[in-house]
Amino acid sequence: MERGGGDKALERGEAVVDASVVVKWFVREEYTGEPLRLRDAYVDGLVDLLAPYLLPMEVLNALKYSGRFGRMS
């Protein structure tokens, strides 16, 4: 995968994601575009994602305190 490729297509490969990237899949905030393109590339089978063991807990914690996720009307 190329760094700083902007809108260039992702080549088949691997990427390591952390909670800051995964949270942007659920909460729209600044710089959400690239994480969404990475997610879409994974869904399309273009890239494999690797993540730390604690990623699910880190993401849940970040979403809990984001103030922009799961609000009930």
pTM as predicted? 0.72
pLDDT in tens, 9-65: 555 799 999 999 999 999 988 899 999 999 999 999 999 999 999 999 999 999 998
Residue 55: what residue type? L
Q: Which of 52, 13, 21, 50 is nearest to 37 (CA)?
A: 21
Pairwise CA distance, residues 72 & 26, whole Å: 16
